[in-house]
Amino acid sequence: MSVKEEKPFSKHRIFEIIQIGNRTDTPSRIFDYVIMALIIANILAMFLDTFEPMQPWHGLFRFIETVTVAIFIVEYILRLWTACYLYPERTSIRAALRFMRSFDGVVDLLTILPFFFLSGFVVFRMMRVVRILRLFKINANFDSFNVITSVLYEKRKQLASSIFIILILMLAASLSMYSAEHEAQPEQFKNAFSGIWWSVSTLLTVGYGDIYPITLAGKIMAIVITFLGVGVVAIPTGIISAGFVEQYTELSNNTNEADIHLQSVIIDMDSAWIGKTMEEVDREFGYAIVLCKRGNATFLPTKSDTYTVRIGDSVVAYRHMDEAVPGPVMNA
């Protein structure tokens, strides 16, 4: 399929510039780098403004924050305006609402709102910390970050189970320590929450040392809980490590077999796959996506909503249904 010619500042052209990090598209790359620089400048200004020796520069930091937030507002408005290309199956209003509910949309909005409540409630001022989440946009351009998110999603059930086990151990440890130490040191172990603080610092091998057992029973339990803490840290670490091995093995196998079994295509603006998740492409068109290249980032998409096909993506897939509904024209 041939890509339609676009006017220099058409709505679709603006979408391409602000949404797609295409190495061959100079304006898009420049926009990406500018946004990265603004995010870093905004966060640095926020950090430096908290240092007392930097107070004479408060006006400069305030100016940097005002300018960067103003640009973030313009970017957010443009993303709402062009959301119809990100979700082509929806109307313009519904597409804008869908973007507002997405992770990027929520982070962008929470980045902007605190600026208007700097002198208001503490909760609004604390929301400035959300700006740090915009750094995910920088990291999302790299393959390593996409592999990490894929591993965390694929192993989410195992990680949830391990966290559940950790919580049970913490509750058991806190109640046991409270029962053993409350009479001996009531000021330190006033209630079960004091035991939770001790169990967290012990099980996670932090060991702050501000609360510790002094009775024989408490010390014996502390020894047992300390050994359990080693296993508590090792469980999620082992799950994530195994996930990395599986992801890189799968990526290597798919890459080696791509010439024989897989097909690739560059998604253009007429593709029926645009806005579809990996699972939707699988279900509606009968193609299993195994690899995606967006800009200079190559990653393994998952069946979560974190990955949707976009214009300009270079997709590697194979058809696993005999009567698959045609999607984009697949090039061998």
Q: What's the CATH number for 262-319?
A: 3.30.70.1450
Work out the pLDDT band at 137, boundaries 50, 70, 90. low
Ranges in the chain annotated CATH 1.10.287.70: 156-246
Which residues, 6+ apart, have CB-to-CB distance to 41 below 8 Å?
A: 64, 68
Averaged pLDDT of the chain:
75
Identify the pLDDT of residue 175: 84
Ranges in the chain annotated CATH 3.30.70.1450: 262-319
For 214, the token pair is 């002094």
Q: What is the pLDDT of residues 153-208, one digit of tens each?
A: 788 888 888 888 888 888 888 888 888 888 888 888 887 777 788 888 777 766 67
Identify the pLDDT of residue 118: 58
Could you tell me the sign of the dihedral formed by the alpha carbons of 7, 316, 277, 141, in that order?
negative
Ranges in the chain annotated CATH 1.20.120.350: 11-141
Give the span between the Cα atoms of 274 and 235, in whole angstroms: 39
Give the span between the Cα atoms of 262 and 289, in whole angstroms: 9
Q: How many helices (H) and strands (E) does the chain have?
A: 13, 4
Give the span between the Cα atoms of 290 and 303, in whole angstroms: 11
Work out the pLDDT band at 77, boundaries 50, 70, 90. very high
Give the containing element (helix H, strand E) for 230.
helix 216-261
Higher per-residue pLDDT: 304 or 285: 285
Identify the pLDDT of residue 122: 47
Q: In what order do the strands lie in the sheet with 263-266?
A: 263-266, 314-319, 287-294, 297-299
Q: Where are the beta strands (DSSP E) in 62-194?
A: none
Instruction: Report, at the CATH architecture level, how domain 11-141 is classified.
Output: Up-down Bundle (1.20)
Give the span between the Cα atoms of 1 and 319, in whole angstroms: 19
In sequence order, the β-bridge partners of residue 277 are 308
Mean pLDDT of the region 256-277: 68
Identify the pLDDT of residue 121: 47
- The CATH class that applies to domain 156-246 reads mainly alpha
Q: Which one, of 260, 263, 246, lies nearest residue 300 by Cα?
A: 246
Work out the pLDDT band at 48, boundaries 50, 70, 90. confident
Q: Checking DSSP bridges between strand 287-294 and strand 263-266, what pairing results, if any?
A: unpaired
Higher per-residue pLDDT: 88 or 149: 88
Kindly report the CA angle at 90 between 85 and 92, in degrees rounded to 5?
A: 65
Give the span between the Cα atoms of 228 and 286, in whole angstroms: 47
Work out the pLDDT band at 249, boundaries 50, 70, 90. confident
